[in-house]
């Protein structure tokens, strides 16, 4: 059989029935904070240290990807088996539900060090990978993915929560010079029995910086304190649902690239918190009048988040478009001297139903590609939390290899 | 050197002194419960996500198998080095002591989704793999294994507990049409200093369903509450031992297969529990008279468990017999359309010294083999706990790949 | 591309731009104690169960090594990317700072089952690998390494502690019969914000035996109890630093080998403990007068540790010198019958500023090398803790394979 390496291990059988490969990635980060009201600890961190084994077993394929930078069973990433069904790929196991262009982009290929608020780093907080069944296909300039899943990742509690998502993309223009990408996705997550709460939550000043809770739909676990005499009560309906719809617009022209997403989320709610509990959760006193006896009422919450991001590859390379997945990939340097890319992003997320509950940031960055598999990233994150008034900033550096 | 893949990675040196291979398995499950008195949470689960590296170093071999579906050091499975001694394989490290045909069968090859009560899923609860030394051989139609071990797996506490086990099998008939298998095994486990309790415990309504403690021999850790004024006391001798003996009878004839085991266990005991503690442990009030002052006395406990299991491969394939290990293997489909197998099992376990302390279930199932490495399983488990009266049932589904 | 195995998996690309390999090690131990004042639990243990993937990506290389015998993110070992800079190897990520010959020696190659007190098993306790940047080079008979790092390993808390270390070695004589090695190393560790305490701590009676704290420089975490009315107070300056300097002298002549190191450490301190807190930390009452109100004062602490270790390879093999790293390697047996090595070590560590705070041990051992990749070790450790008076001993056995 045939052995091959591009930095990993790969063997393919001569009859084409089998293959197996071992890949991985190391992302090593340094975070330095310029504190404001919040004062996070600067540190280094192994952001990702993953080994992924994938292969082919006749008409089936498998993937088992483990991140050693996460503890316990929660360190499992893609763990699934898949096969071709109706011209698409049917996936069974643990994988990312199809939603948000930024979420669909590999962490090896994202433009900034952390994904935007339209991902599991914001409006889909803690719901990056879920366990279930998915189907994904592409044709011409279109891609379509649909998924149904249990509302858990391998590190979360067993529960009866259910969700569904779908994403459709169209690239009306896609040639060697220019690409235009349009996309739409939607999801419904229902926190049934024993589900964790569904939240929108952002670390607006970069990884390991302060976080701001934007919206919360109660899950269905022992979470509520139903005693009004308690200063810290939390009372109301359990097990709500969250519906989201997202729009994508992106494109490249030569060395220029721009990408924008808008996601609207409807977080169900019908609960009361004491003012103390409110401040515990949201980090600041309520911006609205609370009832002295029954506390602060939170009903349905409209969440809106959007970002616009762009880059210019100084060394002239063009960011390729992956028309099978409907996402952009990283630059591949043309010369032995590597490629330089300047990057910028503005993003914001707000809860329209609670005054001032909004966080945003500006990120400016430089990416240097030594070669197609080794990248250094520098990001300056200017954080802004309107609810607490905090404006902590971060300087972040990443050394990255993938194989 | 020679590279090879059957879905994994394998390289063998030309001189025959070295080899190395990377294999693995993914078992992805869904459990739906029909509750009765107990009301477990339905859920999905990555049941197993294992990577195993094994190889040859001149006259020695090694194996390192890690299950990422388990947290921490307890996720280690086979971790050993081995060599040929006296015509057998001498194993040093973490491995399964030789006892119970069902336990010796790989999780990739078991007939039902979960092993029977004659395994670490019942009478040998939490004692699947232990650390020590073993020797295993086979000749003609016989196999013999003996093991001595420290009573711990890598995730358990360090302790001075010791055990020994042995298994002998005989296949008086074994040709391409029919096999008859007979086996006997025995073990002695002694919970010395700092050992965990030795228990028989079953989840009678399928994985993640309710469990029933059947017998308990105290270990030797801070476990007892020796205050009789306490409502929740537990008092008596620590560090007892458990002796077991098991019998195996199994066979195939064409597409038909049947397998049965009987295991008797003698769980040492000499302790008193308050009625509250008894109910905490056994899930229901004592079925016998307890002393108002000294509580419920539990002495030696006779545990008996047996199962009978069978299958019919509709598509006609014959279940092969592994005469080196003395177990049956999975069907390998003959056609590109896969193989279908209907399965059924009845099993029961009881403590003869405590009235009504018995649990049993009936499992009916269908296995579909897409190919020799991808299998789907459907099990209906009809649970029955005589002690609590609970009759929770489960519908379970598994998607499985191994390589 | 080219596939290769010496017990692991390796593939090298024909163009020389890429390679990847999967190696690993299993160390399986048994510890039996002869207790004295302390009475540790005898046990077996998987000491190491590591898989390591490393490879080349054009001019960069990577390594990702995970020990499954440790839980969580703390199980990460070497996780870095590296490239050639100025004739040396520039390493970014998680690796061992350059200090102490014994620490620099691979656990596959150490002479005794556990490293000496001059390593992370003593004066550099819990600081084996740190996250940062290093540069290492060698020329002729010299090696030089320098490292700057954040004071954390992947399992420790995020913190702003910083450290730096350097090591220089010289082998004035190095031929096929004899080697003489000289070395010097130094380090500065500064426990800034949120750092753990910096300690010198030894398990003087072998792994899993009793430990003796030798010195402590407070870190900067919520560690102090500042209430003098509390019987258990601990009060003073946080976030001190530790400076060390170490000397190495080693050599071989035919089948004989000797190695010695001396490390002096200056542990900053300026704190008061109650007598109860002192005994909690140091295992025995203070050996000096404490103030009845303000407790026992601990200022700067001079720590001295040294060992002398030797071996005689009965079967005549010569221990090779790795002149690129400045360490000795294991014997490689010449014959198919393996190699036998007798070993001995005396080591001691003391805090010069607290009377009697000294621990030492004598280790006598036998190593048997079946082949270059399989080794059995037997160690007898005669422990001696002057501070508590404990003289617990240990008999330890290891079965080891690496590939």
What superfamily in CATH does domain C2-402 come from?
Porin (2.40.160.10)
B chain contacts of residue A72, beta-carbon cutoff 8 Å: 71-72
Residue B224 is predicted with a pLDDT of: 66
- Backbone φ and ψ for B101, nearest 5 degrees, come out as -55, -40
**Complex ipTM value:** 0.96
Residue A233 is predicted with a pLDDT of: 78
Contact A5 C22 (CB under 8 A): no
Distance CA C238, CA C271 (A): 8
Closest CA to C69 of C397, C313, C400, C403: C400
Which of B16, B56, B60 should one mutate to test binding to chain C, selecting the residue with the greatest count of C CBs within 10 A? B60
**Closest Cβ opposite residue C399 in set B20, B21, B92:** B92
**3-class DSSP string for A41-104:** CCEEEEEEEEEEEEEEECCEEEEEEEECCCCHHHHEEEEEEEEEECCEEEEEEEECCCCCHHHH
Closest alpha carbon within chain C to B4: C3
Q: What is the pLDDT along chain C (403 residues), one digit of tens a residue?
A: 999 999 999 999 999 999 999 999 999 999 999 999 999 999 999 999 999 999 999 999 999 999 999 999 999 999 999 999 999 999 999 999 999 999 999 999 999 999 999 999 999 999 999 999 999 999 999 999 999 999 998 889 999 999 999 999 999 999 999 999 999 999 999 999 999 999 999 999 999 999 999 999 999 876 666 666 677 778 888 889 999 999 999 999 999 999 999 999 999 999 998 898 899 899 999 999 999 888 899 999 999 999 999 999 999 999 999 999 999 999 999 988 999 999 999 999 999 999 999 999 999 999 999 999 999 999 999 999 999 999 999 999 999 999 9
B chain contacts of residue A23, beta-carbon cutoff 8 Å: none
C chain contacts of residue A203, beta-carbon cutoff 8 Å: none
Contact A41 C132 (CB under 8 A): no
Contact C187, C158 (CB under 8 A): no
Q: Which long-range contacts (CB under 8 A, 24 or more apart) does A135-140 make?
A: A135/A85, A135/A86, A135/A88, A135/A89, A135/A90, A135/A91, A136/A88, A136/A89, A136/A91, A136/A98, A137/A86, A137/A87, A137/A88, A137/A89, A138/A323, A138/A324, A138/A325, A138/A326, A139/A87
At B364-397, the pLDDT tens digits run 999 999 999 999 999 999 999 999 999 999 999 9
Contact B20 C71 (CB under 8 A): no
Give the residues of chain A that fall short of pLDDT 50: none
Which of C1, C2, C3 should one mutate to test binding to chain B, selecting the residue with the greatest count of B CBs within 10 A? C3
Closest CA to B321 of B165, B186, B138: B138
Residue A319 is given by DSSP the state -
Chain B contact partners (≥3 CB pairs within 8 A): A, C
Closest alpha carbon within chain A to B73: A72
Distance CA B350, CA B218 (A): 18
The domain at B27-51+102-402 falls in which architecture? Beta Barrel (2.40)
Reading the block at residue C127, the tokens are 């600081």
Contact C69 B92 (CB under 8 A): no
Distance CA B76, CA A293 (A): 53
Give how far C152 is from chain A: nearest CA, Å. 8
Does B322 have pLDDT greater than 90?
A: yes
At B3-51, the pLDDT tens digits run 999 999 999 999 999 999 999 999 999 999 999 999 999 999 999 999 9
Give how far A161 is from chain B: nearest CA, Å. 8
Closest alpha carbon within chain A to B33: A160
Residue C336 is predicted with a pLDDT of: 87
Contact B70 A73 (CB under 8 A): yes
Closest CA to A248 of A236, A262, A238: A262
Residue A227 is predicted with a pLDDT of: 65
Listed in sequence order, the residues at least 6 apart from A242 whose beta carbon sits closer than 8 Å to its beta carbon are A187, A188, A189, A191, A198, A217, A265, A266, A267, A268
Q: How many CB atoms lie within 10 A of CB A337?
A: 9
Give how far A73 is from chain B: nearest CA, Å. 5
Contact B73, B152 (CB under 8 A): no
Residue B233 is predicted with a pLDDT of: 78
C chain contacts of residue A19, beta-carbon cutoff 8 Å: none
β-partners of residue A364 are: A344, A380
Contact C45 B158 (CB under 8 A): yes
Closest alpha carbon within chain C to A45: C154
- Backbone φ and ψ for A392, nearest 5 degrees, come out as -65, 140
Closest alpha carbon within chain C to B63: C26
The CA-atom distances, in angstroms, between A384 and each of A34, A39, C97 are 12, 14, 38
Distance CA B265, CA A310 (A): 69
Residue B223 is predicted with a pLDDT of: 62
Listed in sequence order, the residues at least 6 apart from B69 whose beta carbon sits closer than 8 Å to its beta carbon are A73, A76, A154, B45, B46, B47, B48, B49, B50, B75
The CA-atom distances, in angstroms, between B276 and each of B225, C272, C342 are 12, 47, 59
Give how far A216 is from chain B: nearest CA, Å. 23
Closest CA to B238 of B262, B208, B268: B268
> In chain B, where are the structural domains located?
27-51+102-402
C chain contacts of residue B60, beta-carbon cutoff 8 Å: 370-371, 373-374, 401
Q: Helix or strand or coil: residue B231?
A: coil
β-partners of residue C368 are: C340, C376
For the residues B306-327, what does the mean pLDDT come to? 97
Distance CA B312, CA B334 (A): 15
Q: Helix or strand or coil: residue C280?
A: helix
C chain contacts of residue B80, beta-carbon cutoff 8 Å: 26, 28
Reading the block at residue C299, the tokens are 């200022």
C chain contacts of residue A43, beta-carbon cutoff 8 Å: 150, 152, 158-160
Residue C129 is predicted with a pLDDT of: 97
Listed in sequence order, the residues at least 6 apart from B381 whose beta carbon sits closer than 8 Å to its beta carbon are B205, B206, B209, B361, B362, B363, B393, B394, B396
Contact A57 B30 (CB under 8 A): no
Contact A57 B373 (CB under 8 A): yes
Reading the block at residue A271, the tokens are 């609960």
Contact C403 B55 (CB under 8 A): yes
Reading the block at residue B235, the tokens are 């008092």
At B45-96, the pLDDT tens digits run 999 999 999 999 999 999 999 999 999 999 999 999 999 999 999 999 999 9
**Closest Cβ opposite residue B41 in set A18, A51, A193:** A193
Residue C222 is predicted with a pLDDT of: 63
Taking an 8 Å Cβ-Cβ cutoff, which residues of chain C contact chain B? 3-11, 22, 24, 26, 28, 30, 41-46, 49, 51, 68-72, 208, 370-371, 373-374, 399-401, 403
Residue A224 is predicted with a pLDDT of: 67
Give how far A209 is from chain C: nearest CA, Å. 12
Does B313 have pLDDT greater than 70?
A: yes
Give the CA-trace dihedral at B184, B185, B186, B187, to 10 degrees. Answer: 180
Distance CA B16, CA A55 (A): 26
């Amino acid at each position: 059989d045939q052995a091959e390496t591009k930095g990993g291990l790969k063997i393919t059988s001569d009859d084409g029935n089998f293959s197996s490969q071992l890949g991985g990635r190391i992302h090593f980060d340094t975070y330095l904070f310029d504190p404001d009201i919040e004062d996070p600890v600067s540190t280094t961190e192994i952001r990702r240290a993953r080994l992924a084994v994938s292969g082919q077993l006749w008409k089936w394929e498998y993937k088992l990807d483990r991140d050693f930078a996460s503890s316990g069973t929660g360190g499992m990433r893609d763990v699934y088996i898949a096969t071709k069904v109706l011209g698409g790929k049917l996936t069974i196991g643990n994988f990312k539900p199809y939603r948000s262009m930024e979420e669909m982009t590999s962490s090896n290929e994202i433009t900034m060090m952390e994904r935007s608020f339209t991902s599991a780093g914001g409006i889909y907080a803690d719901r990056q990978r879920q366990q279930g069944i998915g189907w994904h296909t592409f044709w011409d300039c279109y891609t379509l993915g649909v998924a149904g899943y249990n509302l858990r990742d391998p590190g979360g509690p067993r529960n009866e929560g259910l969700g569904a998502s779908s994403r459709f993309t169209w690239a009306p223009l896609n040639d060697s010079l220019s690409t235009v990408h349009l996309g739409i996705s939607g999801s419904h997550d229902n926190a049934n029995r024993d589900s964790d709460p569904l939240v929108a939550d952002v670390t607006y000043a970069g990884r390991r910086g302060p976080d701001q809770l934007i919206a919360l739909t109660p899950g269905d676990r022992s979470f509520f304190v139903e005693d009004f005499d308690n200063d810290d009560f939390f009372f109301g309906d359990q097990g709500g649902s969250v519906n989201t719809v997202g729009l994508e617009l992106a494109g490249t022209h030569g060395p220029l690239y721009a990408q924008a997403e808008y996601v609207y989320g409807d977080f169900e709610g019908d609960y009361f918190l004491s003012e103390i509990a409110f401040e515990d959760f949201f980090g600041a006193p309520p911006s609205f009048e609370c009832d002295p006896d029954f506390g602060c009422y939170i009903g349905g919450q409209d969440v809106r988040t959007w970002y616009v991001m762009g880059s210019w590859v100084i060394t002239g390379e063009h960011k390729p478009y992956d028309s099978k997945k409907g996402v952009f990939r990283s630059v591949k340097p043309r010369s032995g001297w590597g490629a330089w890319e300047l990057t910028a992003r503005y993003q914001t997320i707000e809860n329209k139903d609670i005054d001032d509950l909004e966080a945003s940031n500006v990120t400016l960055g430089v990416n240097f590609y030594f070669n197609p598999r080794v990248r250094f990233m520098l990001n300056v994150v200017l954080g802004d939390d309107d609810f607490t008034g905090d404006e902590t900033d971060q300087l972040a550096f990443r050394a990255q290899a993938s194989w």
